[in-house]
């Protein structure tokens, strides 16, 4: 078979994915989203499927160049007929909070009252139509980045006057009501293939907007690590998470969102506003690292069904032992030394 291509820019986030692929002896190559090149004239690629794991927070690690390059490349792959996991539509949705709200509005699903602005001068005007406290969110964020809460009009006015309003790398921001969380948590619904996979309640630290529950993104005190230094073997974090069972209506809404944007793998987050007891969707996250210590928290390892899904998209027959074809060997050696080592290990196992 042609190898599976995993396209990503973070060095550590997807070690569990690579471990599961290796456990199944599936040939794969790693493509660096921060330093990538493609030929628009090509009509074929040496991979059976491309798994897009590019992150909207890449700019926090000095990789802003990956954001829109990725969108162009995904559209190219789709044009030439390459199977892609989380292609251009879900990725385009992930990198625009404004687009996410348009999707929700189009589906008739609830979301916090919001205005979209492209100038700090319009932030106060937008906030005047909302209930305080309000959030100003960079349109392209990631891991809670670019979100600031303002408790009252005076605090927001001071930020505007002092030039402290950041619109994000695309010059766009959201001005949104900050709802008090019912029971102190948000809920993330993880989906695979457009269907419910599991759900968790996440209890953020006071004043924090980083709701990533993966142990690789947190220290033992629950404080965010610098993303460039985030390590896969970080100790289990102190953030409180627990398995959740959202109402069927809410799960159904999340599945509708996933189908609408073609989301193969990812999470839909919602909150319950303590003021009215109603639920509101507020984030479509196409880059899921899954919850830390998943077997204990939710009762199973979600990386396994994810790789099942990748195998299906790649055309791998269940029960068949994938082999490293000559084309796979060339692709592996071409892409990255670590993949070449995996090829050597495959040969040693008698798979070459």
Per-residue pLDDT of the chain (352 residues; tens, 9 = 90+): 899 999 999 888 898 999 999 999 999 999 999 999 999 999 999 999 999 999 988 988 899 999 999 999 999 999 999 999 999 999 999 999 999 999 999 999 999 999 999 999 999 999 999 999 999 999 997 656 678 999 999 999 999 999 999 888 999 999 999 999 999 999 999 999 999 999 999 887 665 444 444 433 433 333 333 332 222 222 244 567 889 999 999 999 999 999 999 999 999 999 999 999 999 999 999 987 788 788 988 999 999 999 999 999 999 876 555 544 444 434 443 344 344 444 344 434 434 3
| Contact between residue 182 and residue 273 where contact means Cβ atoms under 8 Å apart | yes
Q: pTM to 2 decimals? A: 0.83
- Among 177, 207, 225, the domain boundary falls at 177
- Among 304, 324, 339, the domain boundary falls at 304
Same domain, 300 and 344: no
Does residue 262 fall inside a structural domain?
yes
Query: Count of domains in the chain?
Result: 3
Long-range Cβ contact pairs of 348-352 (< 8 A, separation 24 or more): 349/25, 351/25, 351/321, 351/322, 351/323, 351/324, 352/323, 352/324
Compute the distance between CA of residue 281 and CA of residue 253 in angstroms, rounded to an integer.
9
| Contact between residue 53 and residue 87 where contact means Cβ atoms under 8 Å apart | no
| Contact between residue 197 and residue 305 where contact means Cβ atoms under 8 Å apart | yes
Same domain, 102 and 240: yes
pLDDT of residue 344: 42
Same domain, 169 and 278: no
Same domain, 173 and 227: no
Q: What is the CA radius of gyration of the chain?
A: 21
Same domain, 59 and 208: no
Does residue 287 fall inside a structural domain?
yes
Does residue 309 fall inside a structural domain?
no
**Owning domain of residue 9:** 4-87+315-348
Same domain, 269 and 188: yes
Compute the distance between CA of residue 257 and CA of residue 271 in angstroms, rounded to an integer.
16
- Among 161, 177, 193, the domain boundary falls at 177
Same domain, 186 and 279: yes
pLDDT of residue 145: 66
pLDDT of residue 319: 59
């Amino acid at each position: 078979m042609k190898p599976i291509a995993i396209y990503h820019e973070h060095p550590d986030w997807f070690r569990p994915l690579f471990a599961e692929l290796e456990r199944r002896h599936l040939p794969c190559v790693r493509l660096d989203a921060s330093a990538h090149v493609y030929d628009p004239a090509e009509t074929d690629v040496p991979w059976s499927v491309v798994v897009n794991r590019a992150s909207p927070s890449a700019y926090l690690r000095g990789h802003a160049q990956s954001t829109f390059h990725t969108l162009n490349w995904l559209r190219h792959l789709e044009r030439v007929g390459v199977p892609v996991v989380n292609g251009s539509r879900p990725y385009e949705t992930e990198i625009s909070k404004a687009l996410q709200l348009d999707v929700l509005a189009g589906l008739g699903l609830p979301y916090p009252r919001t205005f979209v602005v492209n100038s700090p001068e319009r932030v106060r005007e937008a906030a005047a139509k909302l209930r305080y406290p309000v959030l100003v969110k960079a349109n392209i964020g990631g891991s809670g980045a670019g979100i600031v809460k303002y408790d009252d009009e005076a605090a927001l006015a001071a930020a505007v006057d002092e030039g402290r309003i950041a619109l994000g790398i695309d010059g766009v921001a959201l001005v949104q009501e900050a709802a008090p969380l019912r029971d102190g948590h948000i809920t993330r619904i993880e989906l695979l293939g457009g269907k419910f996979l599991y759900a968790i309640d996440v209890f953020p630290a006071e004043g924090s907007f980083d709701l990533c529950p993966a142990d690789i993104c947190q220290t033992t005190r629950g404080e965010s690590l610098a993303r460039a230094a985030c390590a896969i073997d970080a100790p289990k974090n102190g953030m409180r998470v627990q398995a959740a069972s959202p109402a069927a209506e809410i799960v159904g809404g999340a599945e509708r969102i996933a189908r609408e944007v073609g989301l193969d793998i990812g999470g839909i987050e919602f909150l319950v506003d303590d003021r009215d007891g109603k639920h509101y969707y507020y984030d479509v996250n196409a880059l899921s690292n899954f919850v830390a210590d998943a077997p204990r928290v939710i009762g199973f390892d979600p990386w396994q069904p994810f790789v099942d899904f990748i195998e299906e998209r790649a055309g791998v027959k269940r029960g068949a032992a994938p082999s490293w074809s000559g084309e796979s060997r060339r692709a592996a050696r071409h892409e990255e030394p670590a993949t070449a080592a995996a090829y050597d290990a495959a040969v040693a196992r008698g798979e070459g």
